[in-house]
Amino acid sequence: MTVADGSQVRLADVSEVTIGTTPATPAFQTMRYVSSDVRISKQTDIPNEIRADRNVASIVDVGRSVQGTINTFLSYGTFDTWLQRLLCSTWSSDVLKNGILQQAGTLEYFYEQGATDTFVRFQAVRFNTLALTLRARQSVQANWGIMGIRSPTPTNAILTGATYAPATTTPVLNAGLNVSALSFTGLTNAPKVQAMTLNITNNIYQNDVVGAYEPYSHGLGRFELTGSLTTYFENMDAYAAILDHDDIGISTTLLDELGNSYDIDLAKTKFLDGGPVVGGNGQAVMIDIPFQSYFDATAAGSITITRDPA
């Protein structure tokens, strides 16, 4: 027997036309990723029955669902389908905004184990969260949180007629050379940013019914986009915006070395809290600013992503 090696695990994805059903002869896209802990989440119940000998009487298997995270680096064109599912919308003329469209896909993990390999699949997979991190002189991290309905019995073969498109080869974006613009409308003097995070959640919830071992369906909760800025204390503008509860627009352009770019625009945010922090000798005074985006009528959403291929 051959122990599966983490460096040889292939992750592939295909969109589902009918949520919960893997397409016939699926055209999988091989995905780029760093690590993943997607798995079946098994729910058990231990009935609180009393026994004179004080032992546990039984352990009951009551349900299954799919959950986990996929950690990646951001690169152009690699995760456009995942962004669609996350924002519950579709690209229109290379523009994507948050919406209400229900979307899901099938994920497949291939484990190389010598003569007999293992394929593990997860169906009705939705993208519930994204944590996007831009930090000075580091690659841009995009960490995804997923929820799914089921995992069919693992097999030792591909699905009949399945094909696998190779992974993209566009450069990994980094927050040093690839951030061509970071601007703040509503501030006279834009702060210098050491780190920025964006956290998106769909607040997806699970619908359970009597007589079903797995979730019946998923529902979409409120779309929420929060984040944080770690900035140098250079002037009063950002601090004043916190105190005055001003509307601030935040936008950034991520441009790779080939000329491909994403423009991320949060037309309306509030700086929720923060103030100058003195860390001690030999350190710059910083302001950590949590913020939240909310609906802008002109943008018709809370976030707009525009892609521009080279």
- At residue 177, the pLDDT reads 76
Say which residue the tokens 């456009």 belong to: 80
- At residue 1, the pLDDT reads 62
Q: How far apart are CA 44 and CA 49, in angstroms?
A: 15
Predicted confidence band of residue 136 (pLDDT cuts 50, 70, 90): confident
H/E stretch holding 86 reads helix 80-87
pTM listed for this prediction: 0.93
- Domain range list for the chain: 6-44+58-308
Q: Which two tokens stand for residue 109?
A: 């993990």
What is the per-residue pLDDT across 4-26, written as a single tens digit (0 to 9) for each?
777 889 999 999 999 999 999 99
Q: How far apart are CA 22 and CA 189, in angstroms?
A: 51
149: pLDDT strictly greater than 70:
yes
Exposure letters 68-97 (e unless 16+ CB within 10 A, then b): bbbebbbbbebbebbbbbbbbbebeeeebb
Average pLDDT (137-151) is: 95
Q: Are 152 and 159 in contact (CB under 8 A)?
A: no
Highest mean pLDDT among 2-16, 84-98, 181-195: 84-98
Q: Which two tokens stand for residue 2?
A: 């051959």
Query: Residue 24, Cβ neighbours under 10 Å: how many?
Result: 10
Q: Are 139 and 46 in contact (CB under 8 A)?
A: no
Q: How far apart are CA 7 and CA 48, in angstroms?
A: 44
Q: Are 287 and 276 in contact (CB under 8 A)?
A: yes
Q: How far apart are CA 262 and CA 87, in angstroms?
A: 15
Q: Are 262 and 181 in contact (CB under 8 A)?
A: no
Q: Which two tokens stand for residue 180?
A: 């061509």
Q: How far apart are CA 128 and CA 223, in angstroms?
A: 10
Q: Are 235 and 261 in contact (CB under 8 A)?
A: no
Amino acid at 48: N
Q: Which two tokens stand for residue 6?
A: 């983490």
Predicted confidence band of residue 99 (pLDDT cuts 50, 70, 90): very high
Spatial CB neighbours of 212, under 8 Å, sequence gap ≥ 6? none
What is the per-residue pLDDT across 230-267, written as a single tens digit (0 to 9) for each?
999 999 999 999 999 999 999 999 999 999 999 999 99
